[in-house]
Amino acid sequence: MSLSTFTAQDVEIVSKETLWQGYFKMVKFTFRHRLFSGGKSELIERELFDRGHAVAVIPYDPVTDEVVLIEQIRVGAFDGQFNPWLIELVAGIIEPNEHAMAVARRETLEETGLVVEQCEKIMSYLSSPGGMSESMDLFLARIDASQAAAVAGLADEGEDIRVITMPVSAVFEALRAGEFVNATTIIGLQWLQLNHQRVRQQWLASSQS
């Protein structure tokens, strides 16, 4: 059952123009859509940051009850309000013809040095649908936290990543204290907080059977 009134069929895209093309691209849409009060809207123009699609991963060790996080510099935090070095979940962009789960496994290895033992998709959501196309597939990955690297990342991609292993209790305390400012990290850790005991019990039981 859908909670929405309309669907994609209720949007008329009149034109789509690429304004700029680089690693990402900027597109201008001209469109009209059905109105809740009846009829159709006037023509609307909106610029869209076409960023592609991505994955994020919660690397979790049910045996030690620890989460592995990463710290890296982020250009989006350069305006001075936030520290440019953010504590985050593992994440990466899905390239053409890649499967999201394969990207989740690859990014976990590249950014933490950890091999994913088990991987489950949690949800998909739009990162900032008011002006950006990016969707995020969020995964929970079972890992052995004792094998985490101290520093990771691909030098040829300009990555310099500190790997952080934290007890779940400390992660949840940091979450309550507002230590995380990356939206995907907040969403993922809040999900883990809601589902922590169930996931841990299931994964520990499956390893004993």
3-state secondary structure the chain: CCCCCCCHHHEEEEEEEEEEECCCEEEEEEEEEECCCCCECCCEEEEEEECCEEEEEEEEECCCCEEEEEEEECHHHCCCCCCCEEEECEEEEECCCCCHHHHHHHHHHHHHCCCCCEEEEEEEEECCCCCECCEEEEEEEECCHHHCCCEECCHHHCCCEEEEEEEHHHHHHHHHCCCCCCHHHHHHHHHHHHHHHHHHHHHHHHHHC
Q: Which one of the listed residues 111, 117, 120, 157 is annotated catalytic? A: 157
Is 157 part of the annotated catalytic residue set?
yes
Residues in CB range of 83: below 8 A, 6 or more apart: 77
Residues in CB range of 76: below 8 A, 6 or more apart: none
Question: What is the CA angle 68-69-75, rounded to 5?
Answer: 160
Tell me which residues are annotated as active site: 157
